[in-house]
Structures are given as structure tokens and as C-alpha cells.
Amino acid sequence: MKVDMEAEQPETISAIVAAHRAGTVTPAQTIARTYQRIRDHNDPAVFISLRDEKDAIAEAEKLAARDPASLPLYGVPVAVKDNIDALGFPTTAACPAFSYTPTHDSTAVERLRAAGAIVIGKTNLDQFATGLVGVRSPYGTPRNSIREDLIPGGSSSGSATAVGAGLVPLSLGTDTAGSGRVPAMLNNIVGLKPSLGMISTAGLVPACRTLDCISVFALTVDDAALALSVMSGPDQADPFSRDRPLGALTPLPANLRLGVPRNGQLIFFGDKKAETAYGDALKRWTALGAELIEFDLEPFYETARLLYEGPWVAERYLVIKDLLASAPDTIHPVTREITAAGARLTAADTFSALYRLQGLRRIAERTFANIDALVLPTAPTAYTTAQVLANPIELNSRLGTYTNFVNLLDLCGLAVPAAMRGDGIPFGITLLAPAGRDALLASIGRVFHADTKLTVGAKGVAQAPLAPLAAHGGDEIPIAVVGAHLSGMALNGELTALNGRLIEVTKTAPDYKLYALQTTPPKPGLLRVEAGKGASIELEIWSLSASAFGKFVNAIPAPMAIGTVRLADGRSVKGFLVEPEVLGEARDITAYGGWRKFMAEAAG
């Protein structure tokens, strides 16, 4: 399939989806262009496995049967790091001897596909996601998309270079110690590391299971936030998942307080250009109106040392201990050396480190008492592939200076480009905040990135003006949803397509019953009953503009109806109810407390 006007093709997720909905470009054309770019880029180390092009185009053509307005990622090509399960591809974790064929998608991939995304391949990584460099794979080293002599960054090397090179506008990485942030900086793209548990890790080959995050690479913060909103939400298949929806992006706060390390605490390993670029980034924040507040970085450094000097290495050992015992030579020698140390740790070592970590977490909490977010270099410097191969462990460790402590302290992070240095090396900053402030980081990070006026990725494409945020004034109407419109579920795209904003997760007053209706697909019915004869049912409150609310309500089929729902705190809000006449054959599922729990058990 020939794609015309290559130079005019949209690059970002938002532009691609808009073009698909307008009909100026079809999803099939976008997928064909993706494969042509992969051929032109000619780097076999980016993808470990690539889907058949005809198969991907056929899936794109089938999207025509679905409502584009309900698909926030309508026809968007996506690459997935090869330690995340995607049906139709082997999962290797960059170790052929470990490879297996998954029987279903990971939860994250399943939610992307439900939103209209098309998975085109599995990307290379530092083996078993152990490394920040991108050179520890038997499948080769992906070329850095900006400067070919530089490392691509790891462990999510293929995912970051695929976005940087313009092969795909969206990819999934993972982030345990910085693997979703360091390669973002080195490829001049955005790397979003969500709060722990925000994206389910069901279907992810663990690195450190208690710390792992699935992360997002994109060209803009808005694109990354959109992908996060699609994937976030609790998952019964992942005991570490949390109910942490993204929420709405907001304008830049008028009294934004950003933490910067005390004088003399930052480390750049002699890289004066990186040091200057960081200073320039702080000046940019000041010009944007932020107040810079000094904080003590030393406790964060101490936390970082715990990651590889403490018991968390044992989590990496647990993943591959059988392979270490049976076929150690199949594991990359650096990965083997790091991971094998996990076998020597004792329970006493573990508890000692946990006690210290708890103390460090309390210090971090006090740091954020008068600070909205920290602003740090994403990495202190950059290295060439030759330098890293000559000194693999020390230089890798240096790259994690400002990333290794983040998941141990339960912080969320957003890496954004800040400058292109005179020597052609990209520099970036990372915003960090306590878990749950993901929307705040996206809200302020998008403004900073736009203010740099940097081109996105490696193709020299200019940033489009920031899209206006959804209005959130008196024009908006809240609506309570209890079923498939919940975040992360099948019909949630109908709300996001109308620029709906998630306001809060709450419950009804304790006088409702919930039913599973005899419909295809299954739907819930919420019914108000006498006080004392019902229960509190979980729901989400979304906000729609008046016009969007009208469109949404007009499309609701019988026997569903919109009425007044009373909340646990006494407030009332418009929301989904059911006509009682259809409940004769319905199943009472009130005991589950909510539709999400009922569906999880039905699926299990």
C-alpha cells in the first residue's frame, strides 16, 4: 500500500487520531507508513519480533466497523517492550532460552487494543530489564535516534528509539530503576513513569515485582497522559494494582513550588554542558512563574543505594534462578553477575533494609510538605556505546543517579526534554512527586516542554501548540457511572472521546442494589431501594460539558436511564439507573459492591 505525502503525515497520537476520525488518513495507511519507516530506518536491533504487515493492516481496516468517537487510540500503532505479554508474539525478555508464548494479552496491552491501538511489534531491551544502557541484549544494540554513537538508554532501548525515530508514536516500556526515563532523555522524547500500581503489571515479566511499573514513551506529554488514562485502573489479576485513575489535567498552578537540591549536592560527573543545561531549565521554570525551594537530596541518594546494594536484587534473582542454575551461559554476563548476588542475601538483610527504607520514606514525605514536585536532571550525563562497553557497571550506575530511588519511595515521575546541547546530545529533566500526583506532573510538564519549543523526537518535527484543556467551569455537568463506562473498562472511551474528566472515585449511599442484566454484552442496573435494604455501590463521577452531556445521554439505550444518584456523603448527582420492569430475570450482584469486582470474578 503506497502512502502519499509522507512529509505531511501526522506524527503525534492526537494528530493521528484526529486525521483518522476526519478521514484524511486511514488507519490502514498509518500502519503501512509505520512498516515503511521501519524498513527505511533499517535497524534490526529495535524489534525482537515484528508482526506481519498484512495482518496489522487487516486489523486496521476492521476498525472501520467500530465507532471512532469511542476509541481514544483509534488506529494508533504501538510497540511493546518484550517483557510485556502481547498475544501473537513470544515474550523473550531479551533471552532466547527464557522465551515463552503467552496465551493472552497483558492487561495493559488488552486495554490499549480495546481503545483502538494496533500492536505492531515487540521491542528490544537490556536482558531481563536489568540495565539503563541498552547494550545488554543478544539481539543487538538499537541505534540512538539522535546521535548514533550514543547508547540508546535502557532497559527500554527499543521502545524509546522506536518513538524517537518516528517509527511509532507510542510505545510501552517498563521502569523499576529508571528504564522509562533515562532512554526518554537520550532520544529527546517524553517518558512517563506512573505511580506504582496505576497500570496493572499482570502479564509483565518481573524485574523487582514490588517496584515494577509499565511506563509510556510518546512525543508529547498530552499523548503520554492519554495512553496512561486508557491503561490505568485496578486489576484483579494483579495484587499490586491500585485504584488510581489519572484524573484531569489542569492549567499551570499560579503558586507552583518546585524542589531543587541544595547547592553542591548535584552530581554531573564532570559534564559541564549537562550542568549548564540543568541551570537553564531552572531559569525557564522561574520565568514560567514557579518558586524554587531548596531541599536535601542526600536521603534520596541513600535510598538509591539501597536498590542494588540492598535486598531488592533478590527479586531479580527469583525471576531467573532456575535459568541461572540450569543454563547460566544463556544469560548476558553482566546481567548474570548482578542477579546472582541476590542469592546471597538473608532475611536479616531484608528486614534491616526495609526498616531503613521506612525511615527514608518519612523523610521524603516531610520534603514534600511544602513542595509540589521535585525537578531533577533525568540523568547526570550521557555516554557512548564504546564507553559503556569498556566500563559497563560503573557507567550504568551513574545513569541511575536521579532515578534509582523513585519507586522505592513510591513517587511518580515524568521525564521531559529540556534542551539540545551544542554537542548534539539531548538533555532532559524529570519531575517527581508522591504517588497519585500523576495529573499534576502532566499538567506542569506539558507547559514546560511546550515552552522549550524543541522539536519532538529525531525527525525535526515542530511541536504543535498545546491543545486547550477541557473546560471545568459552570458549563460542566457531573455524571455517575457504575458499569462499562468505568475507567479502563470497555465503554470508557465514550466518555474520553467527549473530553470527559474523571472527578472522583466514590460510593453510593447504602440504599442501592446492583443487578447484572440479561443483556449482550452484560450490563449492570443500579436501583434505589428502601433505606437499610441495600448497600453502598462503587462508582466513578465524570464531568462533561453541557453539550457533551446531552450527546452522551441521548445515546443511552433502554432499559438504562439517567436519574439522581445519592452518594455516601449525602450529595446527589446525575447518574445511571435502571428501569425496574426489566429486573425479573436479572441477577442480584449487590454483594460484590460494584460492577468491576463482579466482572473480575466472572472472567476468572
> Any idea what DSSP says for residue 6?
G
Compute the distance between CA of residue 120 and CA of residue 104 in angstroms, rounded to an integer.
16
How many CB atoms neighbour CB 421 within 10 A?
Answer: 15
The single residue of 81, 122, 513, 523 carrying the catalytic annotation is 81
How many CB atoms neighbour CB 356 within 10 A?
Answer: 14
Residues 6+ apart with CB under 8 A from 582: 517, 525, 559
Is 276 buried (19+), middle (13-18) or exposed (0-12) by CB count in 10 A?
middle
C-alpha cell at 72: 481514544
Peptide bond into 487 cis (omega under 30): no
Known catalytic residue: 157? Answer: no
C-alpha cell at 488: 479502563
How many CB atoms neighbour CB 64 within 10 A?
Answer: 11
Of the candidates 434, 489, 497, 426, the residue with the CA atom closest to the CA atom of residue 189: 426
Compute the distance between CA of residue 542 and CA of residue 555 in angstroms, rounded to an integer.
17
Helix axes 438-452, 221-231, angle to 10 degrees: 160
Q: What is the pairing mode between strands 257-261 and 291-295?
A: parallel
Known catalytic residue: 155? Answer: yes
Q: Which amino acid is at 35?
A: Y
> Any idea what DSSP says for residue 297?
-
Compute the distance between CA of residue 44 and CA of residue 143 in angstroms, rounded to an integer.
10
Peptide bond into 299 cis (omega under 30): no
The single residue of 70, 137, 145, 155 carrying the catalytic annotation is 155
Q: Is 209 left (phi over 0), alpha (psi -120 to 50) or beta?
A: alpha
Question: What is the three-class DSSP state of 427?
Answer: strand
E strands of 117-252, at which residues? 118-123, 170-175, 190-193, 213-218
Of the candidates 414, 511, 402, 29, the residue with the CA atom closest to the CA atom of residue 184: 414
Evaluate the CA torsion angle 13, 19, 22, 28 in order and state its sign.
negative
Q: What is the pairing mode between strands 512-516 and 587-588?
A: antiparallel
How many CB atoms neighbour CB 190 within 10 A?
Answer: 29
Q: Compute the chain's Rg from CA coordinates.
A: 24
> Any idea what DSSP says for residue 570?
S
**Contact of 161 with 152, CB cutoff 8 Å:** yes
Known catalytic residue: 241? Answer: no
Compute the distance between CA of residue 529 and CA of residue 535 in angstroms, rounded to an integer.
9
The single residue of 179, 215, 229, 241 carrying the catalytic annotation is 179
Q: If residue 587 lies in a helix (H) or strand (E), which one and from where to where?
A: strand 587-588
Of the candidates 249, 191, 240, 195, the residue with the CA atom closest to the CA atom of residue 220: 191
Residues forming the active site: 81, 155, 179
